[in-house]
A and B are shown apart, each in its own frame.
Chain A
Amino acid sequence: MINAFASETLLLRRRPMPLVVGGAWTIMVLAFAFGVPYIVYSVLDPATEQADRAELLDTLIPASVPATSASSYPLFGGALMLILGVLMTGPEFRWNTWTARFTQGPSRTDVILAKIAVGAVATFVIAVIVAAASTLASFIIALVEGAPTGLPSAADLVASVGAATLISTAWMSVGAALGVVFRGTTVALAVGLLWTLGLENAISGLAGMLSALEPVRAVMLGTASGSLVSSLGAPTQGEGGTPGVVDDLSTSAACVVLVAYAVISTVVALAVSRRRDIT
């Protein structure tokens, strides 16, 4: 397992894909969680919209970073991490590299577990970078606006990074499993994004009208992700917060659902890889 992990770590480090996904996500968080709100803040009239300005500035200062930087994960970040997962496993089919990967010594189980474990480490690194970049951006905004520059507590930051990592890992695992199941990237990406962005949102919307769909909504990836973020103090979508942030589940229930997605996806990827002939 250690050899497989070392091999997959080197592979992921040398591939541009995690840099592209991580870089794109960092820029998106900075742009949409801080850049756009700050522009809105800037154009609001201080004379007539002072309350709105103050409320908006509160979300942009360093003390709010744990909730603000994590609030984009349930919808947009999750989708990007799903793409990351698909790109970890899917291209190996196109390159026909599974043959070499599965004949070096580590078992198929070790190789797949190592791949997903390395992916989880990558999501953690991305979450840390996003949190750091968010803190820097919020610090600059606070300095420019003369707002409090006090940093959030370490516990809040750890909780934020932890939540972001758990959400990202769950989505990444689903993507990795889809890449294995569909033996490539194109169909896996289409199915994954259709499911998470299309089907889940449709069910989530319908559940408001059809109570029978409530239990389904409770175990959806997006719902669990949004609930975990709201537990960090981020305003829900209904309160004018970021789309995808909801309070349907408790923190512990959200964590259980996300862990279940990661575990089930890994088991599916393992089962398919072990059973399938590599031709």
Chain B
Amino acid sequence: MVTYVKLGSLQANATHSEAAAVAPAERLPEQEAAAHGHPSTGQPAVEIAGVRKSFGAVHALRGVDLRVMPGHVYGVLGPNGAGKTTLLRIVLGLVRPDGGSVTVLGGRPGHPETLKGIGALVESPAFVPYLSGRTNLKVLARARGLPNDEVARVLQVVDLTDRADERFAGYSLGMGQRLGVAAALLGSPGLLILDEPTNGLDPEGVASMRTFIRRIGEQGTTVLLSSHLLSEVQQICDRVIVINNGRVIADDTVSAVRARTGATVLKIWASPTDEAGPVLTEILDRSAPVGDDSDESMSSEDAATGSVPEAGAGADPTTPRVGAGSACPVRVEDQDQPYWRLETTPEIVPELVRGLVRAGIAVHEIRRERPSLEDVFFTLTRDDADPAPVANEGGRR
């Protein structure tokens, strides 16, 4: 079966040896099962229940519950040391959890049969430095029992064919990253685990990689994508998992997570610009829904009301969250004209306009925007702050 995958500047005539290459709509149930390595019965590709992992005194994961459903592109977000890489390594069987259960593609993590259905790029790509990219891939392909044709295919997919016979040590960061992705694609796995796949790529490469990940997701491959680039997750993924302090604090569709705070981002162009700031602050302070805008008091309130969902809580929307520091207007130095940016509820907009006009400030424009994933991420992770020690990336101490 041959599918033509266009990857922006990277074009590849991708010959998939297995049914994973077939678009979901074209697939027979048996092909679907073969692509994902588990029965097509709605069974999760990855099911994690109560998983804990500590490295000495450092608690990397503190009871993670998670279900990764097949055919979705999941973005795994979290600050440094949140436990993302530890979680991915547990899924791959590289790290054994202290407790809880993990099922991957219907089997045990790290089991040879399970690993056949998984492709992974964890942290930075690692290869034998003085061997060529092609030889490095051949070594891995042989371990999977794949022919050399498969190496040529994945090199073409990542647009590295021309440089494949150069030594890996001479590769740029971006080329190394593409080789790592190529290694993950060997055998057209049903579950793809990519840790920072666009790291080191040039803008064109980043765009191509994003397009490529979206395409393989559309073709039915389950993707777990860890990234620090929130905009990237917003663009590529249809679901997002937010991990902080070793717990899953959000697991939902990207749009549902973005709607979670209930807040709106306002951009206000007014003049004189400098005088608008104090007026906006005063209105927000006075406004009942905003209340106390200090981080500390808002976090306490959230903790008391349980508005931040616990691990694996799913889609329950939280109570509207305004203020909490992000409500404070922030002056943004736009290229044309500076403006004020603030997070608040839509109901307060008329009061803001009235207050500005009463203060003799001309309001030129007000734009209402949904909070980005980045806005929500910072709100979620800030409110979930925990002073207990957490692991560094990769669980290293």
What is the interface of chain A, defined by CB distance below 8 A to chain B? 2-4, 6-7, 10-11, 14-16, 95-97, 99-108, 110-111, 277-279
Contact = CB atoms under 8 A, between A and B. Distances in A.
Contacts, number: 91
A278 B138 CA distance: 22
A97 B115 contact: no
A208 B116 CA distance: 57
B95 to A, nearest CB: 4
B28 interface: no
Nearest to A110: B112
A104 B111 CA distance: 10
Contact of A279 (B93, B115, B145, B396): B396
Nearest to A96: B126
Given A103-B94, A103-B120, A106-B112, A11 B128 contact: yes
Contacts of A97: 126-128
A7 B140 contact: yes
B96 interface: yes
Main secondary structure of the interface of B (DSSP, over half): loop
Contacts of B183: 100
Interface stretch (B67-75, B129-137, B313-321, B354-362): B129-137
Contacts of A101: 143
B332 interface: no
A15 B168 CA distance: 13
Contact of B143 (A16, A105, A278): A105
B151 to A, nearest CB: 11
A15 B396 CA distance: 29
Contacts of B128: 11, 15, 95, 97
Nearest to B124: A96
Given A99-B126, A103-B115, A278-B89, 9 more contacts: A2-B145, A3-B145, A10-B139, A15-B131, A105-B116, A107-B111, A107-B112, A278-B94, A279-B89
8 contacts: A2-B145, A3-B144, A7-B143, A102-B94, A104-B186, A105-B143, A107-B110, A277-B94
B131 A100 contact: no
Interface in B373-397: 394-396
Interface residues of B, number: 36
Contact of A105 (B55, B122, B131, B144): B144
A100 B195 CA distance: 13
Contacts of A2: 145
Contacts of A4: 143
B191 to A, nearest CB: 11
Interface in B180-213: 183, 186
Contacts of A107: 110-112
A278 B130 CA distance: 23
Interface string B80-94: 000000000100111
A101 B128 CA distance: 11
A157 to B, nearest CB: 33
Contacts of A108: 110
Nearest to A1: B112
Given A15-B128, A279-B394, A279-B396, A104 B94 contact: no
A279 B138 CA distance: 24
A100 B395 contact: no
Contacts of B110: 102, 107-108
Given A7-B143, A16-B130, A105-B115, A277 B138 contact: no
A121 to B, nearest CB: 16
Nearest to B186: A104
B395 to A, nearest CB: 5
Contacts of A110: 112
B342 interface: no
B240 interface: no
A103 B94 CA distance: 8
A99 B118 CA distance: 13
B370 interface: no
Contact of A103 (B55, B92, B123, B127): B92
Nearest to B132: A14
A129 B143 CA distance: 29
B142 interface: yes
A15 B139 CA distance: 12
Given A97-B128, A99-B126, A105 B95 contact: no
9 closest residue pairs by CB, A with B: A104-B143, A7-B143, A96-B126, A278-B94, A7-B142, A277-B95, A6-B142, A3-B145, A279-B395
B129 A104 contact: no
A16 B111 CA distance: 32
A278 B109 CA distance: 13
A278 B95 contact: yes
A103 B131 CA distance: 20
Contact of B139 (A7, A96, A99, A103): A7
A186 B324 CA distance: 53
Given A102-B94, A279-B396, A95 B127 contact: yes
B122 A99 contact: yes
B92 A10 contact: no
A277 B96 contact: yes
A195 B125 CA distance: 36
Given A10-B142, A277-B395, A100 B127 contact: yes
A6 B139 CA distance: 8
B131 A14 contact: yes
A101 B143 CA distance: 8
A42 to B, nearest CB: 42
A103 to B, nearest CB: 5
Contact of A3 (B93, B129, B143): B143
